[in-house]
Chains A and B, each alone.
Chain A
Amino acid sequence: MSEVVLQEVAKHYGPAVVVQNMSLRIADGELISLLGPSGCGKTTTLRMIGGFVDATSGKITVGGRDVTGLPPNRRNMGFVFQNYALFPHMTIAQNVAFGLEMRKVNRADAEKKVQEALARVRLAQYADRLPKQLSGGQQQRVALARALVIEPDVLLLDEPLSNLDASLRQEMKIEIRQLQQSLGLTTIFVTHDQDEAMSTSDRMVLMYNGKVEQIGSPDELYNQPRSAFAARFLGVPNLLPGRIVQGSFEMEGGTALRLAGQKQLVGNCFLALRPEVIGISAEAVEGENNLSGTVEIMTYHGAAVEYQLRTDAGLTLTARAVAPGLGGPEVLPKGAKAWLHWPASAGVIVSEH
């Protein structure tokens, strides 16, 4: 069992609070991602779990064992660094063997384990090369093999994909997820990329200003962002300011929009609308919420057409329609008058903060 529990963990640098009383329970075998913009405290949190940064207060346990005061070399955690941090003067095999050597594993066993670890990341034939002779993606896989070969209780990944190009990132994302699941390894993955977090994690922890903004499954975070920050960070471009009056949403300026099944909030809030729930047509649609506006930008994406419209009230909204060839509406040119419409149940009410 290697359940990781953070109890009221905080990090202060003088008067600056980098991580504020954070409590988190990561189940055995779970992959959780710490997501947020730079400076939100996600990397500091990871480094506290890894033991590279001392927590100012709070307690960290792994499988019930208190590791708060332990140095990194006694925590038995695998750490993968953003820049891979492979030892440049050692071969790939020596890099992977290093942790086993520190654990005094006998030579024959170590050799076997190194070979297995390299085979697992499909790099067996590169054992005698130096790190600089490998591509970025290969180096990252070596870093992964090096962290996994010591059979850690927890795997910690610090932005492991951010130095890779887009196609490699996609490939590594899947690889990390597969490895993690086949080993059943408790894993904490730090990233600033919501797409990366969403496609790899069991749960996501969205952080902002040293605090947890929201915790949930990718599905929950995607469909039910709690705040305007969460909605924006998870890629919702449309946030309509207003407040709830007698069960309907009153936009600034007085236009009332129908709601159905949304949570209700007191005071100022936003209605968050994903581009794909907004339909676009030449006529208002009976039974839905309608706003009229003018097409400002039209971009064609093959399967979809994305519009940026300015409503008559002066708001800029993004809508995404299915391409005409796939049964979507006619393409509207720039400058065209159009109606935006969405069902009352679409959209999420999010708090201001």
Chain B
Amino acid sequence: MTDTVAEPARGAAPKGVAIRLGIPMLSAPAMILVALGLLLPLALMLRNSLNIYDPAELMISAFTLENYVKFFTDSFYQGVLWRTIWISALSTAICLIFGAPVAYFLARYVGDFAKRMLLIFILVPLLIGNAVRTSAWMLILNDHGVLAAILGFFGYEGELGLMYSAPGVVIGLVSVLLPFMIITLNSVFEAIDRNLEDAGLSLGANHVTIMRRIVLPLALPGILSGSVLCFILSMNAYATPVLIGGPTFHMMAPTVYQQIAKVMNWPFGAALSFILMAVTLCLTIWVSALVQRKYRKWSE
């Protein structure tokens, strides 16, 4: 048998090898871009966060954890972090509560054409820049704004107090994040076979049970990724806390900006951004693990 098999030409690599090596190589430019564009600045920031700030020389090269120690001993900055976390968690929860029914309704009860139109309608706010949109919210929320006028028409005379407050910021964030949640969840619900719900019905389950036992467990991974997306976006939100929260309502991203661009304290700004990143990452992983465990219990 062996003599009938043609030997590969000397020097020429067999075709299979070329394919095996060639296709992964296609991802090389992207990998390099990711490395240069993402990892390099990150590494530089990490290095900066270990330096020392000096009002005269701005940054002195060093290897110290001083900046991190400063964060964990200064209750002001911890307060900023806590505020950022609970504002983000609350905004995400509200997006989930309002977004899930809309996404489910779109996925199940709306025809193809109407659905496309509605999704575009939901996406329209994203076509306007964040800062511009938030400015519009300022016009709506302020004490002499649109909302106050509407409430005034119905006889409400008191101050709204939404500007420069947590509720105002949450409203602003929800308006930014809701489209992301709806679009993510819509595709999650679309991917769940409608026959599964009908099968549940035919076996005697009511709609609540079907939601709890069939739709929710199957949608859970998607709900999780939608929530993680919204949470990360709001942990890092800048325009909304600055414009609606104002100068006295501090959240992490504006504080990082303030340290780096205003105070010129690059080391501390870098440390703050690393803390923000680490906390976001840890919370995301923790919640994911929690949900996964719960998911297993649900499906029993």
Contact = CB atoms under 8 A, between A and B. Distances in A.
A334 to B, nearest CB: 40
B63 to A, nearest CB: 50
B203 A89 contact: no
Contacts of A89: 217-218, 299
Most chain A CB neighbours (cut-off 10 Å) among B196, B203, B213, B217 = B203
A95 B206 CA distance: 16
A99 B203 contact: yes
B205 interface: yes
A79 B198 contact: yes
A141 to B, nearest CB: 15
A113 to B, nearest CB: 13
A147 B203 CA distance: 7
A79 B201 CA distance: 10
Given A98-B205, A103-B204, A83 B193 contact: yes
Nearest to A150: B203
A73 B198 contact: no
B299 A73 contact: no
Interface string A67-83: 00001111111110101
Nearest to A102: B204
Interface in A40-85: 50-52, 71-79, 81, 83, 85
Contacts of A75: 202
A146 B218 CA distance: 20
A87 B201 contact: no
A85 B203 CA distance: 12
Nearest to A81: B195
A134 interface: no
Contacts of B204: 73-74, 76, 99, 102-103, 150
A90 interface: yes
Contacts of B213: 98
A73 B205 contact: yes
Contact of A73 (B195, B202, B214, B217): B202
A344 B214 CA distance: 62
Contacts of A94: 300
A314 interface: no
A302 interface: no
Interface residues of B, number: 19
A253 interface: no
Interface string B176-211: 000000000000000001011011111111100100
A79 B202 CA distance: 6
A102 B203 contact: yes
Interface string A132-147: 0000000000000011
B54 to A, nearest CB: 58
B196 A85 contact: yes
Interface in B280-300: 299-300
Contacts of A147: 202
Contacts of B217: 89
Interface string B201-239: 111111001000110011000000000000000000000
Interface in B143-202: 193, 195-196, 198-202
B199 A81 contact: yes
A98 B200 contact: yes
Nearest to B205: A102
A83 B203 CA distance: 16
Contacts of A72: 198, 201-202
A20 B32 CA distance: 65
A50 B202 contact: yes
B300 A85 contact: no
A88 interface: yes
Contacts of A102: 203-205, 209
Contact of A52 (B198, B203, B218): B198
B219 to A, nearest CB: 11
Nearest to B209: A102
Contacts of B300: 94
A24 B17 CA distance: 65
Nearest to A50: B202
A102 B203 CA distance: 7
Contacts of A81: 195, 198-199
Nearest to B204: A102
Interface of B: 193, 195-196, 198-206, 209, 213-214, 217-218, 299-300
20 contacts: A52-B202, A72-B198, A72-B202, A73-B204, A73-B205, A76-B204, A79-B202, A81-B195, A85-B195, A85-B199, A86-B199, A88-B218, A89-B218, A94-B300, A98-B213, A99-B203, A102-B205, A103-B204, A146-B199, A146-B203
Given A86-B199, A89-B218, 20 more contacts: A50-B202, A72-B198, A73-B202, A73-B203, A73-B205, A73-B206, A74-B204, A75-B202, A78-B202, A79-B198, A79-B199, A79-B202, A81-B195, A81-B198, A85-B193, A87-B199, A89-B217, A90-B299, A102-B204, A150-B204
